[in-house]
Structure 1
Amino acid sequence: MNIIDEVNYDPEYEAWLGKVDLSGFESCGIMWDCDADYLSEASEKSEPNNGSVTLQLQIESVDGKPPTKEQEAAFEYLCANANPIVKAALKYAFQQCKSAYYSESLPELSSLDGEKRAIRKRLNTLDGFCELVEPNTVTILAEHKNKVSYIAFDFRTSLDYEHGISILTHRRKALNWAGAGERGGGPPETVSQEDQELIKKCIDCEEHYLELVTKVIDLESAERLAADIANVEYESKALINQTFLLFTPNSPQAQKRSPILGQRFSEFQRIWKDCPQAAQHLNLYLSECTAWKNSR
């Protein structure tokens, strides 16, 4: 298949546009609408897929030049290996969405019974997840690796109708993700050894901060740990200022750090709720330490 015969250039999109038929998505289609407190049949169910599906095709080209050899190679590779590529993309999407969306966009299993409980259990499997997503666009990026361009798959999903999801792949491997239209988060950037060490130091610091905060259970423990918490908070802020450009959205390092920060916030909420005196002591101590260190 000659790729240039299948597409037309659109300057508004800065891309060559067309359509492509791909296999591997037979089990995909939005069957359920969901939120944290309900699960029901989709108001507009996807059409059944009994074979290949037709998707929008976008091939990036800012200057309107024909697709590059790397983009042509990616297109040919996709057409020849659609099933394993799609399988890798769906498996990766399931893993990411289960971590990022399931707790907020699906009801707890314990709150359901009967048929809906069985449906909710099935949604915890890859086959069930496919009933929450519908592919719509394939984008062949301008960036490439080893003479083959990256490819992003965009999906509608009832987990997040507003933003959707986009999965970045290279050959048969899924690499990154983002909202629909965001090129799967873009190709991963090469991180220098120095930056890797700085990233590790930052994450280790946040883990230590979380460990200290979880040990605060009363006023006595708050008084005992206040100095250590103040020191690690000061170090944390300094490292965040040094590394904020390295923690790009959806990067592996950001995905590792974000849950730690979320847990730490939850721990501080717990302290305020269970022992306000301990929280007030920590708050005052940290404020005084920050003011003192800033005055030096």
Structure 2
Amino acid sequence: MTAAPGPDEAHQLLLDHADRTLTGRLEDPAVVAAVVGVERLVVATGSTDEAILRAALAGEPVAGTDPEVVAALVAESEAHVTAGLIRRASGQSVDAAVVNPASGGYDITTDATLLRAAVRAAQGSIDAMPYYGARYGERGSRFATTDSAWLISLAGLGEGRAIRQVEWLSRVLAARGMPSWLLETHLDALVAEVRSVAGEEAVGALPAAANALAHARRQHVDDDLVRAAEHWAAEALGDSLLVPHTGALVAAAVADQLAGVTRDDSALLDWFTDPERVTPQAAAALRAVRQRVLDHAR
């Protein structure tokens, strides 16, 4: 009987890929987990330097980082690599569950370069929108990574098929409180990351998919109204804002409702106006912002 992989084996595999030189298609689930784990450390440390990444993996202090956050990332990465080693031993193929056990196992890109780009785009989107962390925590971060890696796998489809797939995901996410504007902006970030490492050809149908989401939103809530809602919310709520960009998110949820992406905007608005999170006055002020958006929407 083959012994189960231990933490030392998983840790060593992460160290083996700290140089980030691996390219091409990945067929080993453990290597996929290691590549993702190392790239998450790249984002957390703000460095691609192999020595810094090795220091982070060794638990040594890294300037400008929160030691607890880095330690948690390393521990999670080791757990994912260990699970990948088990999958390797049993001959299982690569899917999203390698780095996100709750995903259900959908397809993701297995190109090492594009996988790294997916991780960077996902974490960049999360950092730019604190709402993700406030509402979805680490679970949201894991899904952002695998959803991003799935989106890259759509690049080679025809534009029509890619757009339909992205529109499907936008409906799923919007029903869970993530307006399609968030997916639109994430696709823009993903396209920029892919272009920077693999060129224009690699982005394929992704820009068309992002443009399709933007076009649908702008039919009802254009960019100027998104910016106006941002200002209205900041002005009305001040220090009572739960997270930055609250007004833009409310405007985006209204756009989804008007475009028929969602039945209504309650999945987002109910969270922002929950009496356990905000005062009745703050909730009323945010509802007034929402009404202003509706009054100005097309």
- Report if TM-score (shorter chain) is over 0.5: no
The structure having more radius of gyration, on CA atoms, is 1
TM value normalised by structure 2: 0.30
Q: Which has the higher helix share?
A: 2
